[in-house]
Amino acid sequence: MTERILAPLRGVTIRAFRETFAVPIAEAGFTEAVTPFITATGRFDPLRDRELRPSSAAIRHPPSAGHSLVLTPQFIGKDPAALKFCLERVKSAGYSTADLNCGCPFPMVRNKGRGSGLLRTPDVLARMLETGCEAMGPGKFSMKARLGVDRADELLGLMKVVNEFPLRFLTVHARTARQMYGGECDKEAFKAIRDAARMKVVYNGDAELGYADGDVMIGRGFVRALGEREDIGELMDGYLECSRVELDGSESAVLGRIKELLSYWKGLRRWRGRWEVGKLARNLDEIRVWR
């Protein structure tokens, strides 16, 4: 089966987003969504995270498109015992898959050996993958990584380690951590990893909805395309309402969330003026620039 996965975008492809935009997500052919990362510390029960908490009855679910989306919780961390605790918790709640973040590029994260920092500590990476595959079971745990931290051949050099584990798949964002989210994706470096991998390798990085080259994870391209929909106004009303309930009426948090989404559309002609108004909105009435 070809994978088409909705990318984790912290603050964007969050639970309220996945619930509100369930129909467009299904129409775009996504079979799975990976949650934005949840920190695996061992001190915090991941089932209390907003991403995984049982739904509040007050949140109105949009009509389903008759399509079921696999939801895979993603964890970030470097402590195998903490990861094991988190995976046992999510498994007990019925999740059958989980993912390890080996890609977060922010220096504060990677310098502490988390996210893409795991690519610099192969022993720790191996213990995290071993823990993940043991806790979830063979073929149930996946990993999402960059090509490397500074160079595009670092992950390739680690494939001997990665290949030892029965991973569900390996998602590769075809940039180095140093590149953050800009600059070109390196398709050749991606192919070298795909050729060296024993497991399925999912492409990620600047893919558009029309991508037809096989297994893919798409984030920003999907979010941008939502701005072109005829029904975007209704959807945004739903997102605002869902966020208001979820964030317990905190107006500034709701505004921040909506502005983050609107910012994806500022390059679209019909949104340019609306974005200029929306980014300055001080309350929930002013933010409804789609009306």
Q: Applying CB under 6 A, which residues contact ligand FMN? A: 7-12, 36-37, 74, 101, 103, 144, 173, 181, 204-207, 218-221
Long-range contacts of 209-216 (CB under 8 A, 24+ apart): 209/28, 214/2, 215/2, 215/3, 215/4, 215/169, 216/3, 216/4, 216/5
* Residue whose CB is less far from ligand FMN, 219 or 278: 219
Question: Nearer Cβ to ligand FMN, position 53 or 181?
Answer: 181
CB of residue 37 vs ligand FMN: minimum separation in angstroms? Answer: 4
Cβ-based nearer residue to ligand FMN, 237 or 253: 253
> What is the secondary structure of 79-108 as a DSSP string?
-HHHHHHHHHHHHHTT---EEEEE----HH
Comparison of 20 and 116: residue with beta carbon closer to ligand FMN: 116
Dihedral angle at the C-alpha atoms of 94, 95, 96, 100, nearest 10 degrees?
-150
Residue nearest to ligand FMN (CB): 219
SS3 state of residue 180: coil
Nearest distance, CB of residue 173 and ligand FMN, angstroms: 4
Please report where in the chains the tokens 């051949």 appear, as a residue: 153
CB of 180 to ligand FMN, least distance (A): 9
CB of 279 to ligand FMN, least distance (A): 16
Residue (36 or 80) nearer to ligand FMN, CB: 36
Nearest distance in Å: CB 114, ligand FMN:
11
Cα–Cα distance between 59 and 246 in angstroms, integer?
7
Give the chain's length. Answer: 291
